[in-house]
Structures are given as C-alpha cells and as structure tokens.
Amino acid sequence: MIKILVDCFGGDKSPQAPVEGALRALKANKDLYILLLGDEALLQKELQGKAYDKSRLEIVHAPEVIGCDEKPTDVVRLKRNSSMMKGIIMLRDCDDISALVSTGSTGALVTGALVRLGRIPGVIRPAFCPILPTMNGGIVGICDSGANVEVTSAHLRQFAIMASLYMENVYGVKSPRVALLNVGKEAEKGDDIRREAYGLLQETEGLNFVGNMESRDLLSGSYDIVVADGFSGNVLVKTTEGTALELLKKLKKEIFSRALYKLGALLMKKMFADMKEFMNYQNYGGSVLLGTSKVVVKGHGSSNATAVEKCIEQAYKMEVSRLSGKIEAEIAKYEHYED
Amino acid sequence: MIKILVDCFGGDKSPQAPVEGALRALKANKDLYILLLGDEALLQKELQGKAYDKSRLEIVHAPEVIGCDEKPTDVVRLKRNSSMMKGIIMLRDCDDISALVSTGSTGALVTGALVRLGRIPGVIRPAFCPILPTMNGGIVGICDSGANVEVTSAHLRQFAIMASLYMENVYGVKSPRVALLNVGKEAEKGDDIRREAYGLLQETEGLNFVGNMESRDLLSGSYDIVVADGFSGNVLVKTTEGTALELLKKLKKEIFSRALYKLGALLMKKMFADMKEFMNYQNYGGSVLLGTSKVVVKGHGSSNATAVEKCIEQAYKMEVSRLSGKIEAEIAKYEHYED
C-alpha cells in the first residue's frame, strides 16, 4: 500500500478540489491509501454522500489556518497544526508514508520541506521541476523554477541529473534531452556559472546533454528538460504561462468585437476548446520538489480536482519507481564541491 | 540636419530592407540626412531607379563582410572596413553624426560600441531596451535584455533611470511606471541584488517605481518599464516572443486540419491578420542601447524595411530629444559605487 498525504486547505478551491481529486486517485489506484489533512468536521462534510473505499481513506485533523501574509519561517515554526505543516511532520516521522501533495503557499512548503524533511544524501539543493506542454504534443520539464534564486554550476548539474531521472521514471521518456537555459546557443555564452555548468553537463555520463537553449525554443519540442537557476527558470515558466493566457484573452476579446467573428468562432468552437484544454496547466499536474528525502508535490493554488488527481499520480509514480534511491545512486557518482 | 548611419549589411534582408527603410525615413523627416554603409557598387545598384532627395543621402564604402561565426572581439579588432565597424568608428570620430542603426550581429555591435564609443559620463553599464506590445494596446520596455548577464543593484537603478527617460522622451509616456523583474511581488523576494535594488529604486526621486513584477504580468499593460539583469531580461523577452510565435503556429496548424475550421477562419481572416500584425515585432522598432556616448539602435536580424524605418525613427527621436544629456544629468544626481 502506498500512503500519500493530501493537504486539503490552502488552495483556492479547498477543500472541494483536493477531496475530489483524492477520491478519483483512490479509484484509479487500488494500492493507494490517502490521508486527508485539514479540519475534520469540514472534511467529513465534504465527504458526505460520496462513494469511496473507506478502508483506504483517513482524515488527519489539522485545524490551524495559514494566513496569506504569513512569513514562511513563521509558518514552519508556529503553525504545526496547520494542514501543511502537520503533513510535513507526519511525512518525516512515519516510515510508511511516502509523499505529501499540497496546493498551499509555495514559500511555506519549500521552507518546511527543507527544514523538516532534509535532503536525499548527496543532494546539495532540492529544486522544483514543473512540466509544460510543447507544441508537438510532448512535454518539457524546467528545473529549477524557483526554489533556489542563486545557484552554482554544481547545483545545475544536480538539477539536470534529478530532472532527467524524473522524466525517465515518471513520464517514461527514454534518455531525456537535457538543455541549459542560456542567452545564446554557443558554449561560451552567459556568465561563469553557465560556462562552468556547460562543461560539467558535457562530462556527466548517462546524461543526454544537448547544449544551451535559448528561451524562445522552450515549446519547440526539441528538449525534454531545461536546467536553470531558480530565478530565470521562474521567469521562463511564468512568462510562458502569462503570454499564453494574455493571448487567449486578447483573442476572445477580438472575437466578441464583431458578429462575423463570433460566427467564425462558432464553427471553430471545438478547436478553441481543444487549444484551451491543451494549454491548461491543470492537465499537467504540479511542480515536484526534487531532492528532498521524501516526495513533495506542489499543485498550483488554483488547482481543480483534475489537477490535484494528477499531483497525486505524480507522487505515486515517484514512489513506485523508487526515484529517490535512483537519484541518490546517480548523484553519488560525481564529486560535489560544497555544502 | 540630423545625420544617421545605416549599416546596410549583416541583416537577413540586406541590403534591400535597410536601403528601403532609409529612403522611407528620409521622406518622412525633412531634416534627416542618411549615410548608407556597405559595398558601394551593391548599394548603388539597390538605389537605381528609386526616387529620393540626393542631397540628403550618401554612401560610405565599407566592403568587408562579417562572417556568422566570427568572435565579436575579432570583428572589432580586425574588421574595420566592415559596414558595422566603419559605422561605429565614424560615429565616434564625426561630431556631426548622431547615431548608428544596424541589423547585424548583436555581440559585435555591443562589443564595438562599448570599446570604441564609450559611455555617457556617469553610466556604469550601457543596456539594451527593446519594446514589446501590451494586450491593452500600449507598449512596455525591458531594460536590460542581454547586454549585461551579471549586474549589481547600482546597475539596475541606472537601467531604470535611463529606460524611464527613454520612454518619456521617445514615446511620450508621462511618468513611466517602472517595475523590477522578480520571482514574487513582495519587497523581500529574490536575491540580495534584487532586495538592494528594490530599496534604491524606492528612494530614487523622479522615478515612478511601482514595485516588483512577476513575469506573467509583463503584457498586462500595468507597467511601462521592467528593469532586469541581462540574463533574466533576455529570458523574459525571448520567452514572450517564442510563446506567441509557437501559439500562432499551432493555431494555424489546427485551422488547416479541418475544412470546417478553415471556413470559420475565413470569416475571421481580418481578425487573424490584425492579431498577427499586432504581435509583429517589426512594428515596434529595434532594441536601443542606452548609455553609450552616442546613439546605437539594434534592429532584429530579420528586419524588413518597416522595421528598419522604425529603428531610424527611434534614433532620430533620441537625438532630437537630447536623451543622452538628460541621462547624464539624471544619473549625476546619484552616488554610484563602482565602475
């Protein structure tokens, strides 16, 4: 039985979306056991009248609420009975629990996971790895996308190793093509960190390093993993999401500006719906935190039930494929220079 | 008379686009004088049969060609008779020449400008400031977008001052709203450089600093200037362009996949053309280099005549508004900590 904690508070659609997502995941995976974290009375109410396998679902009472403006360090120190922090502590203390899924505050989740869970032996810095859809129907992972605003070349190599194993084990991508985010394709582009990382990535056996990537090529389908510092990785992911959303909004506005366009759009209704669905990040799960001693998956704050279900699936596959052990073994092959 | 040098080689559509762009700019501005740089025979041929005011156009023979793979430092040192390098040297040596417009190699242009032209007194680092269209019909400038992959907080403040004056003087934006690119809105987000820059920007009088910007909001129309290090600024600009292009490509592919969609798209033909035009960077001119002692404008390598004309207009307006002097005066008000 694989036991996964689901934080049912903190997201915009809590507790409805996490509960519904958890029930769907339970139905799809017969060896999955879920612990719902949150206010017990509210969770009982949410579960009322719903059909599910009661022998594989449990509620863990965690009534404290985390405010929007609370500092991550305060949350970790003071809010031990919040659904998120209780989840992290249980994950740390219970050997039979494998993972935590949360749609709450990113800052609190990262800080809590780093302080309370610790890292896989050898890993210098855990890193986020969200997934985006590419234009040819594939996916691309970006690691790091915000956990570390400052990095060294040694960090970047570890991000590449972890993300590569993640793509292979969770998404079945054979020998993932790894690129380094840079301001140009040539090996000598960027700052010292990038030039050093280029060398390290090249000499890392078992890594399919294909060189530097310019950010305009992210969605081209030519790469499976893009390695970046958390600052520019964050810019890469959020700019892509932002541009796609703004363009769709603009398209919609234009369509509604004229009767003729509305008629045209009516004929293309299914196509627009498909495009929207294709670009909907809810379908691509959450951003996994790679490198912590146990599995943590961060869903978008606005996650619906489908998105939460995908996050649980990601956590489940990470555990089933024994990703942490593989990361530890691979990382151990390389010298690391710090921490 | 305002004299501007136009590099007619180096772009994908050379010399046709630069020559045609120059003739259009000449027609539009009666006090403009243009010097076309390049192989004289080829330029003469390109001008044949075209009507223009011969008293305001001159050809400067510069026959050397810069190869694609040449290192910028080699170009600056060895290719003094290339159209770009001859342009930079003439710009430096001739008091009556105001600006250079080029669609050639970015690396060679930046290196050449920094080495040969020098900076406006007080400016620590010149920076690129391209312009993108926002979804409400406005524009936003991003500074820096690639000239400096590493920066300090003092650099970021100067980028803000220079870009703010540029938006005001060239685009008529009153009291431009300046934001700092960061991984979150809160003042304490990002690394030390960002936190320091936040403080410096806040205390800079005459600057309308509105706080941190997350990259997903770039096109929202809420900001006139975004200040960034050259690495993440480059990622911001290229990701926006790349995502928009990939989405349009995908849309086109989907439309052609079914007769019904093709019919719908036919009704919306004008709308799609308008959208494409709206997103066409050719309409927004080039990326100006702010902070060099004389005006340099870098057009996209694939610039057509319209784009080159816009670049010349930008250079013309920078000169007419005496932007360099204003930058010098404003920069002089603040202490700077380094060179």
Instruction: Extract the residue ranges of chain B whose pLDDT is less than 70.
Output: 335-339
Q: Other C-beta atoms within 10 Å of A222: how many?
A: 15
Degrees (nearest 5) of the Cα angle B1, B4, B8?
145
**Chain A residues 264-293 with a CB less than 8 Å from chain B:** 264-268, 271, 274-275, 278-279
What are residue A289's DSSP bridge partners?
Answer: A128, A296
Contact B191 A150 (CB under 8 A): yes
Tokens 């509620």 -> residue: A59
Pairing of strands B127-129, B97-102: unpaired
Query: Do B164 and B192 contact (CB within 8 A), yes or no?
Result: no
What is the per-residue pLDDT for B19? 98
Give the confidence band of A208 by pLDDT, cuts at 50, 70, 90. very high
C-beta separation of B210 from B223 below 8 A: yes
* Tokens 């045609």 -> residue: B20
ipTM confidence score: 0.92
Interface test mutation site (partner A, options B235, B250, B256, B257, max chain A beta carbons within 10 A): B235
Candidates B71, B215, B253, partner chain A, best to mutate (most A CBs within 10 A): B215
DSSP-based three-state secondary structure for B212: strand
How close, in Å, is residue A129 to chain B by CA atoms? 15
Residue among B60, B64, B72 at smallest CA distance from B109 = B72
pLDDT score, position A336: 58
SS3 of A22-46: the string is HHHHHHHCCCEEEEEEECHHHHHHH
pLDDT at A85 over 70: yes
Strand partners, B68: none
The Cα B310–Cα B283 span in angstroms is 7
Tell me what percent of the residues of chain A surpass a pLDDT of 70. Answer: 99
Secondary structure letter of residue B304 according to DSSP: -
A residues 192-231 near B, CB within 8 Å? 194, 214-220, 230-231
Which contiguous run of DSSP H or E holds residue A210?
strand A208-213
DSSP string across B132-183: EE-TTS-EEEEE-SSS-SS--HHHHHHHHHHHHHHHHHHH--SSPEEEEE-S
Other Cβ atoms less than 10 A from the Cβ of B118: the count is 14
Contact B239 A244 (CB under 8 A): no
To which residue do tokens 């079945």 refer?
A172
Whether the predicted pLDDT of A338 surpasses 70: no
Mean of the pLDDT values across residues A163-175?
97
Contact A229, A156 (CB under 8 A): yes
Which H, E and C letters describe B259-289, residue by residue?
HHHHHHHHHCHHHHHHHHHHHCHHHHCCEEE
The DSSP letter of residue A88 is: H
Per-residue pLDDT, B335: 66
* Tokens 């921490």, residue located: A339
Contact A238 B216 (CB under 8 A): yes
Strand order in the sheet with B2-7: B57-61, B32-38, B2-7, B97-102, B295-298, B287-290, B127-129
Q: What is the helix (H) or strand (E) element at residue B213, kind and residue range?
A: strand B208-213
Tell me how many degrees the CA angle A131-A132-A134 measures, rounded to the nearest 5.
135
- Whether residues A247 and B250 touch (CB distance < 8 A) is answered with no
CB atoms < 10 A from the CB of A233, how many?
A: 30
Q: Which amino acid is at B302?
A: S
Q: Per the CB < 8 Å rule, is B243 touching A240?
A: yes
Residue type, B229: D
Q: Are residues A312 and A34 in contact, defined by beta-carbon separation less than 8 angstroms?
A: yes
Helices (H), chain A: 16-28, 40-47, 72-78, 83-93, 106-112, 153-171, 192-203, 230-255, 259-267, 269-279, 305-320, 323-331
pLDDT grade for A71, boundaries at 50, 70 and 90: confident
pLDDT at A278 over 90: no
Q: CB A165: neighbour CB atoms within 10 A? A: 23
The predicted structure's pLDDT at residue A78: 83
- Which residues 140-169 of chain B have a CB within 8 Å of chain A? 146, 149-150
C-alpha–C-alpha distance, residues A264 and B264, integer Å = 4
Chain A residue nearest residue B264, CA to CA: A264
Backbone CA torsion sign across B205, B208, B209, B215 = negative
Evaluate if residue A339 carries a pLDDT over 80. no
CB atoms B242 and A219 under 8 Å: yes
Region A178-182: mean pLDDT is 98
Statement: residue A140 has pLDDT above 90: yes
pLDDT tens for A32-63 read 999 999 999 999 999 999 999 999 999 999 99
**Residues B209, A201: Cα–Cα separation, whole Å:** 40
pLDDT digit string, tens, across residues A283-311:
888 999 999 999 999 999 999 999 999 99
Query: In Å, what is the CA distance from B303 to each residue of A76, A214, B71, B101, B307?
Result: 53, 20, 22, 12, 5
B228-267 residues touching A, CB cutoff 8 A: 230-232, 234-236, 238-247, 249-251, 254-255, 258, 260-261, 263-267
The arithmetic mean of pLDDT across residues A157-165, rounded, is: 98
Distances (CA, A) of B60 to B20, B36, B81, B87: 16, 6, 10, 9
The model's pTM: 0.94
The tens digit of pLDDT for each residue in A182-191 reads 999 999 999 9
